[in-house]
């Protein structure tokens, strides 16, 4: 087990056609035993980050430390790191037992008995003890995934790296394996960096989430924090499903510091407290509100109400999703199942100021 530190880590790929900055001055400080999930859209630098930590890619600039020791120049096999790949990367001609024990035979001087003990233990943990004599080709995708994870456990490394390990499984199995991997992590307590493009996977598994965009760190924090206090528009948009509603608004400030945000069909009074973080010279804002923070309430005060037309009502059982029309854009509302307007109705929509997110649209464009 160990602490993992990335200090202004940069990766530049120089190809014939172009120079790509895949990761830019990334700072991360991951505690011993923490489960970190790195998320972001395709091409944002997740895999490159993981591969630099594993030693499969050189670091252009900056330093990576594991347990306080610089590992930039160490070869992958000397790093005491086990990685689980999306493709599982199992040896097709070896049995499950041989697949799981092979790394130990190569990189340690443990005797066969000890290796067998560790393989059995990891196989029990992953629920694959009855598959040890089988070849990978006779296993299902889910079973192969378990073997790949089991093989990493056997190594008893200082650090686990997972690169989209559940992408090849169907939705149901993926959810099940999320819980399994979380359970294994709490049993073995090894520092873990887990990469996925799936924000829901990140939300359910992580102690802390790292959000990347274009190779740059956007935010790092516990799932609830990045959900409720996104530091910028990108994070607000990326985290949450269904996603946050956004609207370009104009801010008119009052002398007392309070103000009104408006756009066509929309006007809402806000207090000075909400406007405090916004630069005084800024009047173009992006307003954001999560679907579950919107209420349909005919009794709400008019200055806090927007009248919108119902486009679609989706009954999902425990609650309803209501899609409203806001200046031609979809405005999503998640309500209790009792609230069930008809399509075409005009409804009064309101929300608490505390749930509003405001972003400076100029900073976001930069």
Contacts to ligand ADP by CB under 6 A: 13, 15, 20, 22, 40, 42-48
Q: Is 11 exposed, middle or buried (0-12, 13-18, 19+ CB in 10 A)?
A: buried
C-beta of 198 vs 311, nearer to ligand ADP: 198
Pull the structure tokens for residue 233: 């528009």
The least distance separating ligand ADP from the CB of residue 219, rounded to whole angstroms, comes to 16
> Which tokens in the block code for residue 158?
């200082």
How far apart, in whole angstroms, are the C-alpha atoms of residue 347 and residue 338?
15
Residue 46 C-beta: closest distance to ligand ADP, Å: 4
User: How far is Cα 285 from Cα 265, in angstroms, rounded to an integer?
Assistant: 16
Residue 24 vs 293, nearer CB to ligand ADP: 24
Distance separating alpha carbons of residues 133 and 106, to the nearest angstrom: 20
Smallest separation, CB 58 to ligand ADP (Å): 11
| 4 touches 30 (CB < 8 A) | yes
- Is the Cβ of residue 184 or residue 235 nearer to ligand ADP in the bound state? 235
User: Encoding tokens for residue 26?
Assistant: 């990334």
Q: How far apart are CA 135 and CA 274, in angstroms?
A: 60
Nearer to ligand ADP, 47 or 218 (CB): 47
Taken in order 37, 39, 44, 47, the sign of the CA dihedral is positive
Question: Looking at residue 130, what DSSP letter applies?
Answer: G
To ligand ADP, the closest distance from the beta carbon of 215 in angstroms equals 7
**Residues 148, 90 contacting (CB under 8 angstroms):** yes
Closer of 10 and 262 to ligand ADP (Cβ): 10
* Rounded Cα gap, residues 198 and 203, in angstroms: 9
Nearer Cβ to ligand ADP, position 58 or 363? 58
**Given the complex with ligand ADP, which of 52 and 308 has the nearer CB atom?**
52
DSSP 145-163: HHHHHHHHHHT--SEEEEE
The least CB distance from residue 300 to ligand ADP, in Å, is: 42
Minimum CB separation from ligand ADP for residue 99, in Å? 25
| Minimum distance from residue 251 beta carbon to ligand ADP (Å) | 35
Relative to beta strand 294-296, strand 191-195 is: unpaired
């Amino acid at each position: 087990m160990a602490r993992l530190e990335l200090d202004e880590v940069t990766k530049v790929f120089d190809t014939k056609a172009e120079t790509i900055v895949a990761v830019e001055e990334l700072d991360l400080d991951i505690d011993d035993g923490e489960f970190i999930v790195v998320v972001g859209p395709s091409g944002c630098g997740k895999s490159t980050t993981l591969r630099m930590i594993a030693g499969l890619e050189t670091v252009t600039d900056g330093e990576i430390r594991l347990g306080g020791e610089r590992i930039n120049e160490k070869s992958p096999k000397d790093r005491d790191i086990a990685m689980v790949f999306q493709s599982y990367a199992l040896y097709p001609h070896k049995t499950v037992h041989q697949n799981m024990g092979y790394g130990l035979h190569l990189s340690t001087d443990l005797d066969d008995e000890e290796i067998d003990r560790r393989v059995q233990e990891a196989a029990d943990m992953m629920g694959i003890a009855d598959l040890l004599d089988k070849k990978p080709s006779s296993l299902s995708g889910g079973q192969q995934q378990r073997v790949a994870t089991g093989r990493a456990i056997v190594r008893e490394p200082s650090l686990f790296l997972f690169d989209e390990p559940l992408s090849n499984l169907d939705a149901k199995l993926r959810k099940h394996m999320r819980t399994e991997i979380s359970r294994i992590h709490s049993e073995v307590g090894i520092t873990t960096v887990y990469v996925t493009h799936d924000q829901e996977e990140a939300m359910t598994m992580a102690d802390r989430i790292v959000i990347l965009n274009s190779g740059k760190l956007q935010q790092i924090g516990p799932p609830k924090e990045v959900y409720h206090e996104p530091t910028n528009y990108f994070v607000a948009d990326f985290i949450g499903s269904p996603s946050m509603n956004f609207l370009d608004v104009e801010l008119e400030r009052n002398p007392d510091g309070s103000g009104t945000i408006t756009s066509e069909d929309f006007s809402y009074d806000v207090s000075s407290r909400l406007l405090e973080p916004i630069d005084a010279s800024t009047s173009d804002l992006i307003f954001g509100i999560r679907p579950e923070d919107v209420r349909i309430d005919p009794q709400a005060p008019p200055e806090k109400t927007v009248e919108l037309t119902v486009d679609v009502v989706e009954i999902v059982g425990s609650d309803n999703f209501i899609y409203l029309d806001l200046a031609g854009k979809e405005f999503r509302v998640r309500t209790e199942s009792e609230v069930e307007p008809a399509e075409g109705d005009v409804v009064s929509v309101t929300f608490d100021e505390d749930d509003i997110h405001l972003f400076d649209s100029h900073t976001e464009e930069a």
